[in-house]
């Protein structure tokens, strides 16, 4: 099945029309499929001896990260470089933001320098959308508070499609700190739009009220979440977004919700996929034997993140696709 073709639909040609990529809630299933298909066409560039094409030559990308990041920031930087864009990383603690300049003033100064794409991570939900409303540059949300992390969900979808050959009809269980997870929210939007059945599982204190309204099933029993799941997505407890302690102890959490080899052997399907957006807290939500075991695709997710971010940069840039002969 083409990624651009929903079950029962004829193949169609889509154009990207949005200035920004802010979240999956506001994307249609076809727009999500377009990004995944574009990522598929960029994936092989990273397998070449010379991992570079001129697609975004002359474009300037700025990484503006107000929160720590390993995977997302480096992945966007490599994605920009592999497309021949210029990339600037702004360390917010050593910029004039630390002298009291507002984020919007910083953005207006960057735009005065004629940048093209702003990649923004911030601890507060809505900051990328606010900037997008004020900026003429394209804005990509690299994670805003507990709101959305669209490129993480897109790389998760890409990885499931790659490993399972489909997303429609799969059972996906997301286990962990759902309440504070932007990854969970973006994954729920993306998975349900592409036809997966999503179950969320975690301690009641880490479960948002009325989450069922997003079209998911809720369980507080991890064995139930594991049973029948084609994909298990584990999430860490996001202490940085919690004002009070919401689980009695990490030991207690591990006993009730942690995934170890025995729990997997007792309840999981024989071809289950183990996914985690990272960073993994080993021995809490996931034991090393599972994180590094035969069902884990955690590092494949990281690899696929590069192709997905190349696709995101390319689509919001509005650049024409350079054909293979030129590449």
Token output for 39:
């990522």
Of 41 and 242, CB closest to ligand CP = 242
Question: Whole-angstrom Cα distance, residue 228 to residue 320?
Answer: 43
What mask of x and - would describe binding to ligand CP in positions 50 to 79, judged by CB under 6 A?
Answer: -------------------xxxx-------
Q: Which residues pair with 259 in a beta bridge?
A: 286
Does the protein bind ligand CP through residue 241 (CB under 6 A)? no
Task: Give the binding range for ligand CP (CB under 6 A) out of 35-43, 245-253, 272-280, 309-317.
Answer: 272-280
Of 71 and 217, CB closest to ligand CP = 71
Does the protein bind ligand CP through residue 23 (CB under 6 A)? no
Of 149 and 180, CB closest to ligand CP = 149
Of 202 and 305, CB closest to ligand CP = 305
Of the candidates 153, 119, 70, 132, the residue with the CA atom closest to the CA atom of residue 313: 119
Count of positions on this chain that bind ligand CP (CB under 6 A)? 10
Does the protein bind ligand CP through residue 277 (CB under 6 A)? yes
Does the protein bind ligand CP through residue 190 (CB under 6 A)? no
Does the protein bind ligand CP through residue 281 (CB under 6 A)? no
Phi-psi region of 228 (alpha: psi -120 to 50; beta: other; left: phi over 0): left
What mask of x and - would describe binding to ligand CP in positions 123 to 162, judged by CB under 6 A?
Answer: --------------------x-----x--x----------
């069922």: which residue's tokens?
212
Of 82 and 197, CB closest to ligand CP = 82
Question: Whole-angstrom Cα distance, residue 236 to residue 285?
Answer: 6
CA angle at 214 for the pair 211 and 220, rounded to the nearest 5°: 35
Q: Which string of DSSP letters, residue by residue, matches 122-183?
A: ESSTTHHHHHHHH-SSEEEEEEETTTB-HHHHHHHHHHHHHHHS--TT-EEEEES--TT-HH
CB of 277 to ligand CP, least distance (A): 4
Question: Whole-angstrom Cα distance, residue 80 to residue 62?
Answer: 10
Query: What residues make contact with ligand CP under the rule CB under 6 A?
Result: 69-72, 143, 149, 152, 277-279
């Amino acid at each position: 099945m083409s990624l651009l073709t929903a079950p029962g639909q004829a193949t169609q040609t889509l154009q990207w029309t949005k200035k920004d990529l802010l979240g999956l809630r506001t994307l249609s299933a076809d727009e999500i499929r377009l990004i995944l298909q574009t990522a598929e066409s960029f994936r092989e560039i990273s397998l070449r001896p010379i991992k570079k094409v001129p697609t975004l030559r002359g474009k300037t990308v700025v990484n503006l990260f107000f929160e720590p990041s390993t995977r997302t920031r480096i992945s966007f930087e490599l994605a920009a470089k592999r497309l021949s864009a210029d990339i600037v990383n702004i360390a917010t603690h050593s910029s004039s933001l630390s002298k009291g300049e507002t984020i919007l003033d910083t953005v207006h100064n960057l735009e005065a320098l004629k940048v093209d794409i702003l990649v923004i991570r911030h601890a507060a939900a809505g900051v990328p959308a606010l900037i997008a409303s004020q900026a003429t540059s394209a804005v990509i949300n690299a994670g805003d508070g507990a709101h959305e992390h669209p490129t993480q969900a897109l790389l998760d979808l890409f990885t499931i499609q790659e490993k399972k050959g489909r997303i429609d009809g799969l059972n996906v269980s997301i286990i962990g700190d759902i309440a504070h997870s932007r990854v969970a929210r973006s994954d729920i939007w993306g998975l349900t739009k592409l036809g997966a059945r999503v179950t969320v599982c975690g301690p009641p204190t880490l479960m948002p009220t009325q989450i069922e309204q997003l079209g998911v099933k809720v369980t507080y029993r991890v064995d139930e979440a594991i049973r029948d799941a084609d994909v298990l997505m584990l999430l860490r407890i996001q202490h940085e977004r919690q004002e009070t302690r919401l689980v009695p102890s990490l030991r207690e959490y591990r006993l009730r919700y942690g995934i170890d080899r025995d729990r997997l052997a007792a309840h999981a399907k024989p071809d289950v996929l183990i996914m985690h957006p990272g960073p993994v807290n080993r021995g809490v939500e996931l034991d090393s034997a599972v994180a590094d075991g035969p069902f884990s695709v955690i590092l494949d997710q990281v690899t696929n993140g590069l192709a997905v971010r190349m696709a995101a940069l390319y689509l919001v840039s509005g650049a024409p696709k350079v054909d293979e002969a030129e590449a």
